């Protein structure tokens, strides 16, 4: 049973852990990976070069809208990156994801 991962960028590790913890406590996600990235992007008419943190959270497809809404409500960025990616994995891992979250 395929599931989704949601890619979210954060200003720092503290903010990433806050959002991931919030989603975990509500059983909206099964788990997350958090790691540093280097980002370059247009913002306010100029190119920015910044260090950020990305979290990749794993959940059921039907949780996408709920998670997107929750993250938008608590994320400190004006325009956060919240991207859904549909994925498939080995059956035992997919089963664990689906058993670990509520929908």
How would you list the strands of the sheet with 82-87, edge to edge?
Answer: 31-43, 46-59, 3-10, 82-87
Q: How confident is the model at residue 38, as a pLDDT?
A: 98
| Span 3-100 CATH architecture | 2-Layer Sandwich (3.30)
pLDDT at 92 over 80: yes
pTM: 0.95
Confidence of residue 2 (pLDDT cuts 50, 70, 90): confident
Joined together, the tokens standing for residue 86 give 């549909």
Q: What is the per-residue pLDDT across 22-69, written as a single tens digit (0 to 9) for each?
A: 999 999 999 999 999 999 999 999 999 999 999 999 999 999 999 999
């Amino acid at each position: 049973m395929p599931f989704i991962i949601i890619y979210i960028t954060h200003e720092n590790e503290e903010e990433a852990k806050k959002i991931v913890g919030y989603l975990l406590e509500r059983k909206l996600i099964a788990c997350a990976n958090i790691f540093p990235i280097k980002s370059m992007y247009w913002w306010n008419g100029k190119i920015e070069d910044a260090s950020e943190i990305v979290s990749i959270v794993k959940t059921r497809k039907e949780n996408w809208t709920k998670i997107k809404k929750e993250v938008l409500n608590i994320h400190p960025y004006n325009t956060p990156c919240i991207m859904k990616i549909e994925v498939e994995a080995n059956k035992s891992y997919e089963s664990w994801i689906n058993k670990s979250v509520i929908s």
